[in-house]
Amino acid sequence: MSTALPAQLAEIIDDFQDLTEPDRLQLLLDFSRELPELPERLREHPELLEQVVECQSPVFLTLEVGEAPERRVNLFFSAPPEAPTTRGFAGVLMEGLDGLPAEEILAVPDDVPDRLGLTRAITPLRMRGMSAMLGRIKRQIRATAA
Amino acid sequence: MPLKTDSSEKFAAYAHPGRLVSTDWLADHLGTDGLVVLESDEDILLYETGHIPGAVKIDWHTELNDEVRRDLVDGEAFARVMSAKGISRDTTVVIYGDKSNWWAAYALWVFELFGHEDVRLLDGGRDKWIAEGRPLTTEATTVRPGDYPVIERNDPRVRAYLGDVLEHFGNPLIDVRSPEEYTGARTHMPAYPEEGAMRGGHIPTAASIPWGRAAAEDGTFRSREELDAIYRGEAGLNDGDDVVAYCRIGERSSHTWFVLTHLLGFDRVRNYDGSWTEWGNAVRVPIVRGPERGEAPARPAEARR
């Protein structure tokens, strides 16, 4: 399981790992605050976003894949402020994956959410929500390749 | 010294009016000696985004549940958590939370397992406080540690185990999950992930009264009259009934347990917190699928613990 993580994602994981549990939650909260707004073209077209039904709170995502050969991926998330945990997970994926080539995202191991060191503090149900977001990102990327 | 209760007219119609406070009451009493305000949410970070000034966070998952086995905390752990929140045995505790006080009611139920005398819910919870434009703060609350004694948890009064439910047939059961979970069309909440109950359906004879029906649009509890119509009328409960409520893991049903016990005054109500994630996985327990309540098993149920 030594798949190399993209540098920008590995850095986030290291940041989490370096902290005590309460500080990890604080960092997750920071990510939730920094999650960017949807660009206007998507705000007006919510039907273009896919709901991550595995999450306890409403979260929607979509992505755009750039030109070959790199096929860089841009991610877009929408989640309400009353759902800071879900927003935080989205924020981690945004900062960790946005702008990477499709191949690199597809190679990210599925257990990445477990590496944030939050599994004691956050219920398994919620952690699965983050895995589901990653799963849906990968699936959407594969769908654009078809 | 317990604080005076809220004398709102709405509450006076309930069986135990002292178990609720209004947002007005809380606003008037914030900062009073002998009062600790707790926020109990489903989302573990919500408190940090802004909370009622002076409120302390309590997390059901890490602070009220045992970390290893599927159980609630024991007396020592509870005493530790309470003391750390500035709570002593005679403290008046007001709990509020998100989603119509769903998790706040769960926390209150745990307090009652330890016999904490004065514990109340904020009617309407976090959402009503915010909707009324009342202040929130992200400022950390300074806690003066309390001195909470180690009290042994007293389960039998308000908590039912699987074996208790098997022996309960013939008495009313209330299933507070969504209609889809009740019929067995799904084993988890709409819009929530699969949580691994193997079988779908409900416990035979259980009436289906989704928990959220006890709450109005603004998250407050419905009036005495409306609640009577639902639980005495529709569900057919009568004075003196021995009632068990259940859901998926016992959180939604603690909301209904609160309504039946403190608002409607039923003396014998237990929350079966094993709920569907236990029943729906247990071997050889009876299950009914579809919208009908179904019949109680003829013989004492075969599965025993």
Q: What is the pLDDT of residues A107-126, one digit of tens each?
A: 999 989 999 999 888 888 78
Chain A hits for B195, Cβ within 8 Å: 125
The answer to whether residues A28 and A88 touch, using CB atoms and an 8 Å cutoff, is yes
Percent of chain A with pLDDT over 90: 65
- Is A40 in the B-facing interface, judged by CB distances under 8 Å? no
For residue B188, CA distances in Å to A60, B185, B207 come to 20, 9, 18
Model pLDDT, residue A21: 92
- Predicted confidence band of residue A58 (pLDDT cuts 50, 70, 90): confident
Stronger pLDDT, B185 or B147, i.e. the higher one: B147
Residue A72 burial (CB < 10 Å; 0-12/13-18/19+)? middle
Tokens of A123: 């219920």
Closest by CA to A31, choosing from B130, B39, B48, B140, is B48
Model pLDDT, residue A127: 84
A25/A98 Cα distance (integer angstroms): 22
Q: Look at phi and psi of residue B241 and say left if phi exceeds 0, alpha if psi is from -120 to 50, else beta.
A: beta
Q: What angle do CA A51, A53, A56 make, to 5 degrees?
A: 115
Annotation marks residue B247 as catalytic: yes
pLDDT higher than threshold 90 for residue B289: yes
pLDDT higher than threshold 70 for residue B245: yes
Candidate from A48-57, B135-144, B165-174 with smallest mean pLDDT = A48-57
pLDDT higher than threshold 50 for residue A1: no
Tokens of A121: 């503090």
Stronger pLDDT, B87 or B199, i.e. the higher one: B87
Inspect the interface and report whether the beta carbons of A125 and B195 lie closer than 8 Å: yes
B14/B266 Cα distance (integer angstroms): 11
Q: What is the mean pLDDT of residues B208-213?
A: 96
pLDDT higher than threshold 50 for residue B119: yes
Active-site residue (options: B20, B176, B247, B259): B247
pLDDT higher than threshold 80 for residue B129: yes
The answer to whether residues B17 and B263 touch, using CB atoms and an 8 Å cutoff, is no
Place of tokens 């908590």: B159
ipTM over 0.90: no
- Predicted confidence band of residue A46 (pLDDT cuts 50, 70, 90): confident
A57/B43 Cα distance (integer angstroms): 9
Model pLDDT, residue A76: 96
